[in-house]
Amino acid sequence: MKFLTIRNGAAWVPAVIDGDQAVVLPERYQDLVAFIEGGEAARSELAAHMRAAGSARVPLDEAVVGSPIIRFRRDVLCCGWNYWDHFYESEGKREGQDVPRPHGPTFFTKSPETVIGPFDDIAFDERVSKKWDYEAEIAIVFGKAGRSIPADCAWDHVFGLTLANDVSQRDLQRRHGGQWLKGKSIDRTMPLGPVIVTPDELDVPNLRIELTLNGQTMQSALVGQMAFPIEELIAELTFGMTVHPGDVLLTGTPSGIGNAREPQVFLKESDEVVVRASGIGELRNRLVKADLAGRSSVAL
């Protein structure tokens, strides 16, 4: 099944795709997180709801689609360096912050305030950063709480998969000692969506994720090329740590980032970035000038 969040008047409401229509979920579920928390009972209710004659439906070609997750109980969870070609392409280009090849996944978080819809403008302000970079990623949405989840049970805790563009500010990453939170937490910069697809509809290892910049392909890789597969990511992340329904985990970006290219390629105002994967759809976003720096006393 494919779930999404659409505009209904002044509100955003959760929905599920049925053919060429989006069926609005029962009113008790104010967002997709509430539905995910409902577990199997919510799924059973949805099946009956979709058969009901009075269920609200919106043609997909008329729907205004937002980020599928609009309520976060914690930061967005992320994994870095999860494609070895990406890890090695940046060697010597981390401005003195190189590290040995990690033996386990590298985790960090980013602010939920970064999240925008799949077709929204990415806020861009050169006063905040001179080195804006793109990162196409598969993201997973947890469907069931768990701690110390074994790898062979990992998919039992996954509600579905979606896409993200982990837009990063490389100079902010370097400025703050190589810690990634600040360089990846600028407001209104991370597209998410367009839908959350349940795993049964996807051949996950053979899922190809691609990114184009102004029509030119910059990244392309299979999920099966990950350094640490999704099952292992979940096992490592939850080792002694609880995840909850609706939590989002970005699973890493493949090679081809702008910072590692020669010459380097950084995003600029009016650029269009597209992230796509078959079966999930695409993010299509343009960088638009915004006031993010305001009257801050900080200057790069």
Local structure of 271: helix, strand or coil: coil
246 closest CA partner among 188, 148, 159: 159
* 166/220 Cα distance (integer angstroms): 15
Rounded to the nearest integer, the mean pLDDT of the chain is 95
Q: What's the chain's length in residues?
A: 300
Domain ranges of the chain: 2-66, 76-289
- The two three-digit tokens of residue 32, written as one number: 């997709």
Give the predicted TM-score (pTM) of the model.
0.96
pLDDT band at 198 (very low <50, low <70, confident <90, very high): very high
300 confidence band (pLDDT: 50, 70, 90): confident
Residue for token pair 């060429």: 20
Q: Which value, to the nearest 10 degrees, does the dihedral of the CA atoms of residues 110, 116, 121, 127 take?
A: -30
Query: pLDDT band at residue 96, thresholds of 50, 70 and 90?
Result: low
Residues 231, 235, 240: CA angle, nearest 5 degrees: 165
Q: Is 296 helix (H, G, I), strand (E, B) or coil?
A: coil
- First-to-last alpha carbon distance for the chain, in angstroms, is 46
pLDDT reported for residue 93: 67
Class of the domain covering 76-289: alpha beta
Q: Are 207 and 278 in contact (CB under 8 A)?
A: yes
**Percent of the chain, pLDDT > 90?**
88
